[in-house]
Structures are given as C-alpha cells and as structure tokens.
Amino acid sequence: MTYEETSAKQRTERFGMSHLSIEVGHLYADDLARPDALKEEMASAAAWVHGTTEALTRRLGGRTPRVSTCYLVDDYFHHDLPEPERLIDTVAEAAADAGLRIDYLARESSCDRMGPLDLAGLVADRIVFEPPPGTTGARPPVSDLGWLPNGVPTPKPRGIAMGAPLRWVPPSQNARREHSVFLDVELWNDTPQGRRWSCPMLAAVWQLLRLGVLRDQGRRIGVPEPVESVVPAEHGHAPGRRTASRFPDRWAEMPPILQLNAQAFPFPAYRTVSVLSTDFLEVEHAVRVICGSIRPDPGAVESIRKSAEREGMALPAELVDRLSYIFQGPI
C-alpha cells in the first residue's frame, strides 16, 4: 500500500480498486427458510452479473474489467441467524448452483461499529444539509433531530384567527424535475439501550465502504480479512469428542468483511451496482438521499479520482452518481 499526502499532518492511503463492485444479495433471516427462493434470486443475480460484466468490457474497449461481488448479511436487526458456517455454506451452495461466485461477505452490524470505530457515527458527522433559501431555520439540525429531508417539508398551516381557513403549503424537493418527490429519512432513534441506526443509514455506510471513500485519519476503513485467517470454533458433539468448525460460533466474532475468494479483485470499486429485491426500493431511495448529503474525506476522493484517471476513466463528481441498482421481483 502507498500513501498520498493531503496536508502537513495527514496522509491518505492508496490501494487497489476494482472497476465495479456488484452486490448480489442482502440476506434477511427469513430468506434461509425459503431455500428455493434463495436459489432463484441467485440465478437471477448471476444473469445480471454476467450481463453487467460483458457491458463493462465493451465500455473498456475490450479490456478485462476488474469486477468483485459481495453479499451483505443482516446481523444487526436480526439476532436469530444460524451460526456462520451453516449460513455461509447455504449461501455459497445457492451461488454455486447458479454459476455465481461470491468474493466478499460482510456483516451489516459492522456498518454500525467496526472494531473501535463508531463507523455510522463517523458517517453521520459528515452529513451536511443546507436548507434552501427562504426557509425559516426553525427545524432542528440533522445532528439533533436524526431526520434528513431531501427538501423542505410541509410547514405548519398558516391562517388567520376567528375561523378563517388555514393555508396549506406543499413540501418541495431540492433539485426537483418539474414535480417534487419529497422524502424525510430517519437516520436513527435513541433507545434505553443506546442509539439504533436505521436500515438506510447502515446501507449508506455499506455503499461508502464499497466506494472506498471512508477513512480514519487518512487510513483505509474496511479491509477484508481472508477466510484463511479466521479463527475457527470448536464444537463438542459428544463426551470426549470435539470437532473444529471453519468459523466462530457467533456472528459478532466474525470479521466485518470476509474475503471468500482468494483470487478476488479488490473489494472497493470506482462504481457499485446492487442487485436487490424490489422490497429494497424505498430503502435505497433513502440511501441516495443520505449519500447525496455526505461531505467525504477530500483526500480519499481525490486519490480515487486520480487512480481512475490513470486508467482513462472519468468518475462523476458526486458520489451518489457512482451508485447503480437492479431491482428484481417475481416474473
């Protein structure tokens, strides 16, 4: 790895990038109860992976693109997941049956906290919302409220006393195209057990990890761990007999991002594609609002831009424009 200096005190780590990161699925606990549906989703995702890779090859003038695939497991909102070895075997088998490889597997809870890093909090601190001209500023800031709008919500009705009708004012989307699609995104709620991040917030962190733009004082965040380095668990199945598992028993003991394929191209990429069920459409709309409001580490963004330029690629200036989706439902 190398470093680029961005200031007198901080250097930005540089590392290899794939051209494209393809998310081939997002696993909920309920999916494991439907193995046939999981295989169907994998088969459909495989077709999109092959087609997307072929299209990217043409765009690169026939050069072989660096494409990595990843899979996200929801261990944040669901704690009743099967042990890691069983779940990974189930997913890997479904992928293999579809002719698909999964290079990286990540835990959604690591988008909350990764080791000592309050990762979601770090990203939340980089959200910048500038109210459009003409707003009163009466709404509390995002850091206090935990809600992020993509425009101006409907204000309290205004009217005249003594029974005169109140005047309703519609919400307004920033940068709308003729008509507004207003969205107000909940980033977290605070509970007696602590802060609970929303699904869109964690998914936004996930997208930023895949784009390689998150840094801790210039250092890269989210380096995958090879499957060979994982410390396995031992199970006692009978008195005096112990057998080893490939993985720990608990998801909390698993690496944040596990590299399943030793020959995989890099996890971070210049652009991302997510192949998801239509159930995620609303969530990803919210993810785009969040990512569009992030002020990323300038050294990281500049380093990645230069790397892409050296390969003859021009990246969109806005991070959110580097995210693409394929939503699929029953046919």
Confidence of residue 170 (pLDDT cuts 50, 70, 90): confident
pLDDT at position 238 over 60: no
Give how many domains the chain has, as a whole number.
Answer: 1
> What is the 8-class DSSP label of residue 250?
S
Q: Which CA distances in Å does 178 have to 148, 151, 172, 181?
A: 22, 14, 11, 10
Which pairing describes strands 67-73 and 104-107: parallel, antiparallel, or unpaired? parallel
Cβ–Cβ < 8 Å for 114, 197 = no
Is 178 within the bounds of a domain?
no
Contact (Cβ atoms closer than 8 angstroms) between residue 128 and residue 293? yes
Nearest CA to 85 among 277, 299, 207, 249?
249
Question: Would 168 be classed as within a structural domain?
Answer: no
| Residue 45 falls inside a structural domain | yes
Quick: pLDDT tens for 20-76. Answer: 999 998 876 666 667 777 888 899 999 999 999 999 999 999 899 999 999 999 999
Decide if pLDDT at 111 tops 80: yes
| Per-residue confidence (pLDDT) for residue 9, from 0 to 100 | 56
Q: Identify the burial level of 158 via C-beta atoms within 10 angstroms of its C-beta, where 0-12 means exposed, 13-18 middle and 19 or more buried.
A: exposed
pLDDT digits (tens, 9 = 90+) for 60-91: 998 999 999 999 999 999 888 889 998 999 89
pLDDT at 210 over 80: yes
Q: Is residue 153 part of a domain?
A: no
Whether 211 is covered by a domain: the verdict is yes
CA contacts within 13 A on the Cβ side of 240: 0
Using CA atoms, how far residue 258 sits from 69, 132, 167, 253, in Å, is 12, 42, 55, 12
Expressed as residue numbers, the domain containing 238 is: 2-126+197-328
* Mean pLDDT to the nearest integer, 291-300: 93
Residue 240: the pLDDT is: 47
Predicted pLDDT of residue 294: 94
184 falls within a domain? no
CA distance 26 to 108: 9
Residue 311 covered by a domain? yes
Residue 1: predicted pLDDT? 60
How many CB atoms are closer than 10 A to CB 274? 24
Measured CA to CA, the distance from residue 227 to residue 258 in angstroms comes to 6
- Of 177 and 256, the structure prediction assigns the larger pLDDT to 256
- Tally of CB atoms within 10 A around 57: 15
Could you tell me if 165 and 159 are in contact, meaning their C-beta atoms sit under 8 angstroms apart?
Answer: yes
Q: Tell me the pLDDT tens digit for each residue of 141-166.
A: 888 889 999 888 877 665 555 566 66
Is 155 contained in some domain?
no
68 phi, psi to nearest 5 deg? -115, 150
How far is 172 from 153, CA to CA, in rounded Å?
Answer: 7
pTM: 0.89
